[in-house]
Structures are given as C-alpha cells and as structure tokens.
C-alpha cells in the first residue's frame, strides 16, 4: 500500500512537471497560429487588395482595421493572463469566519495557535496541508503551480498560468476576443477556401495558397472550440461559480455566493462600464469591490443568518 501511494505521488509529480514544460511550447504555438493567420490575411490576401481600388479597397480596408483591432485586444488580454499573478494567499492571513468547507480535511480554530479566530458555532477553518497555511474562502491548491490560488478556476496550459481571482476577467476577455478574431478570419478567408474546390484558376503561389488554407482550418477549429468554453464560462459567471466549484457544489444544496446575475457579473468585471472590455480595473472598483482581490466575498443574507 505504501509503495502504491508513493508511486502514485511520483506519477502526479511527473505529470505536473510535464505540464510546466508544456506551457512554454503552448505560448509558442499561440504565437505561431497568430503568425500564420497574420501572414495569410494581411500579406497574402487583404494587404495586396488595398492597391486594387474601388470596392475591393473598401472591403480590404474594413477587414484589416477590424482584424488589427481585435488582434491587439486578443494579445493584450492573453499576455495579461500570462503575466498576472492569479492571486496568492497573503503571509500570515487568518480568517474572521470560515465561509465554506474545504476539499481537504479542515481543522477547527483550536487546532491552530491562539491568533486564529474561531466563531461561537465552531465553524471549520480550511487548511492546506501542502502549503501548511490557512486557506481563504474559494481558494484551492494548484499542484502544477505548487501553491494555493485565490478563487482558482483552473490551471490553463495555454497561458502557462493558473486562472484565478486576479486574472479571471482577463481570461474571459481572451476567450471573447479570440472567438471574434477567429470568426472574422474564417469569414474573410471563406471565399478563398471555397475557391480551392472550384474549377477556376486561383491566383497566388502554392505556398501562399497552402498558408491561406491552413489559416482557415486553424481559425475555424479554434472558433468552434472557444465558443464552447465561452458559453460555459458565461454560465459560470452568471451563477458566480468557478469551474472547480461547479463540480464541487453538486452536493451543495445552496450556493451562498450567487447574488444575482448583475452582482455576479460585477464581481468579475467591476461596475465601471469603460473597463468591461479591456483587461484592467478602475481604481474605484478595486477599492469598492473586495471580491476583485480574491479574499472577501459577500454571500446571500439568508445564508449568513442560518
């Protein structure tokens, strides 16, 4: 039994190490897809169309403006997810009142030193035995990152980072702009893709045609896959739930953090509409909405009164 447990732990360690190594490759893959798409759209097709004049010029100009605008927002959101810490537990953090039961065996306040409060109803305090620290509400340990992450949603190999409280909005914007960009590229390259199967002569070298074909297929595949993720995360935001919590709360009769769609949305995107579509928050929202910091989450009044 001991040997089996040690073997399993070693396999998990190797799996996590492999995911860390895979991350750098995934970033290069994203850059590669963007590069192929950019070459196909700008250099092969719509860039040269700018010199044609007339309606072709107007079409190419509109496509290129929209393409570059979405590309800037996509890359801005993507690298914001990659470079932003998803949220770490502050040193020596201690809860005032525990708000949920953790996935590990939680300990009561008396199991810690005296500076850890414990309420009169003897509610349990979540504790991470791997990090050897108290866990805030909605916090989970990531085996790949090797630490606890505030309001952890999942570890994403595409961004080489965890998606948590401080970068979840950026991740959603990355999905949103990726979907719009891939739909635009798919639609703009569709006539050229259909021309592959026509009997007419297609202008361009074999290399440029192959690049256009590859860009169309890649963007169509990404558009369909990202659409599924986008729909899933929209439903999670609407119920104020993370991917991990959606699985865990199957056995929970009531979800205390569901405050209604509008307030749930504001806990991720803030209240300032000027910042909803960019990977940033206003200073006022950061001050007024503690949930954006990943440590304090309001819950339903009827739940607190129980």
55-102 pLDDT, tens digit per residue, is 889 999 999 999 999 999 999 999 999 999 999 999 888 876 544 444
In a domain, 108, yes or no: no
Range with lowest mean pLDDT among 11-15, 65-69, 142-146: 11-15
Q: What angle do CA 235, 238, 243 make, to 5 degrees?
A: 55
For residue 255, what pLDDT is reported?
A: 85
Query: Residue 166 is part of which domain span?
Result: 12-86+153-300
Burial call 56-78: b when 16+ CB within 10 Å, e when fewer: eeeebeebbeebeebbebbbbbb
In a domain, 141, yes or no: no
In a domain, 116, yes or no: no
> Looking up tokens 């992450």, which residue turns up?
149
In a domain, 66, yes or no: yes
Q: What angle do CA 276, 164, 298 make, to 5 degrees?
A: 75
Beta-strand relationship, 147-149 and 161-163? unpaired
Strand partners for 107: 125
Classify the C-alpha dihedral 114-115-119-120 as positive or negative. Answer: positive
Rounded Cα gap, residues 73 and 2, in angstroms: 51
Rounded Cα gap, residues 48 and 126, in angstroms: 61
For residue 19, what pLDDT is reported?
A: 52
In a domain, 94, yes or no: no
In a domain, 114, yes or no: no
For residue 94, what pLDDT is reported?
A: 81
Average pLDDT of the segment spanning 249-256: 70
Among candidate residues 289, 303, 302, 168, the one with its CA nearest the CA of residue 236: 168
For residue 200, what pLDDT is reported?
A: 59
Active-site residues, by number, are: 156
For residue 118, what pLDDT is reported?
A: 36
Burial call 242-253: b when 16+ CB within 10 Å, e when fewer: bebbeebbeeee
In a domain, 247, yes or no: yes
SS3 (DSSP) at 183: helix
The model scores a pTM over 0.75? yes
Burial call 185-206: b when 16+ CB within 10 Å, e when fewer: bbebbeebeebeeeeeeeeeee
If you average pLDDT over every residue of the chain, what do you get? Answer: 82
Total domains in the chain come to: 1
Rounded Cα gap, residues 59 and 64, in angstroms: 9
In a domain, 51, yes or no: yes
172-209 pLDDT, tens digit per residue, is 999 999 999 999 999 999 988 887 777 656 666 777 88
């Amino acid at each position: 039994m001991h040997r089996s447990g040690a073997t399993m732990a070693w396999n998990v360690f190797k799996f996590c190490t492999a995911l860390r190594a895979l991350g750098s490759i995934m970033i290069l893959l994203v850059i590669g897809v963007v590069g192929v798409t950019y070459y196909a759209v700008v250099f092969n097709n719509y860039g040269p169309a700018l010199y044609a004049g007339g309606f072709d010029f107007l079409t190419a100009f509109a496509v290129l403006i929209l393409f570059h605008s979405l590309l800037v927002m996509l890359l801005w959101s993507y690298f914001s997810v990659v470079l932003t810490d998803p949220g770490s537990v502050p040193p020596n953090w201690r809860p005032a009142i525990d708000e949920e039961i953790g996935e590990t065996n939680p300990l009561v306040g008396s199991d810690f030193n005296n500076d850890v409060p414990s309420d009169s109803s003897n509610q349990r305090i979540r504790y991470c035995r791997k990090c050897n620290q108290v866990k805030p509400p909605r916090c989970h340990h990531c085996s790949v990152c090797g630490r606890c992450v505030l309001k952890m949603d999942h570890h994403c190999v595409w961004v080489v980072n965890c998606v948590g409280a401080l970068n979840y909005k950026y991740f959603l914007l990355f999905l949103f702009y990726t979907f719009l960009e891939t739909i635009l590229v798919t639609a703009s390259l569709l006539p050229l893709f259909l021309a592959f199967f026509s009997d007419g002569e297609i202008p361009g070298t074999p290399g440029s045609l192959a690049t256009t074909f590859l860009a169309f297929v890649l963007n169509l595949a990404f558009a369909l896959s990202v659409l599924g993720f986008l729909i899933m995360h929209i439903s999670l935001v609407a119920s104020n739930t993370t991917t991990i919590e959606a699985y865990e709360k199957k056995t929970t009769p009531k979800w205390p953090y569901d405050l209604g769609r509008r307030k749930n949305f504001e806990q991720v995107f803030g209240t300032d509409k000027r910042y909803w579509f960019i990977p940033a928050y206003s200073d006022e929202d950061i001050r007024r909405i503690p949930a954006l910091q990943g440590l304090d989450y309001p819950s339903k009044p009827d739940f607190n009164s129980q």
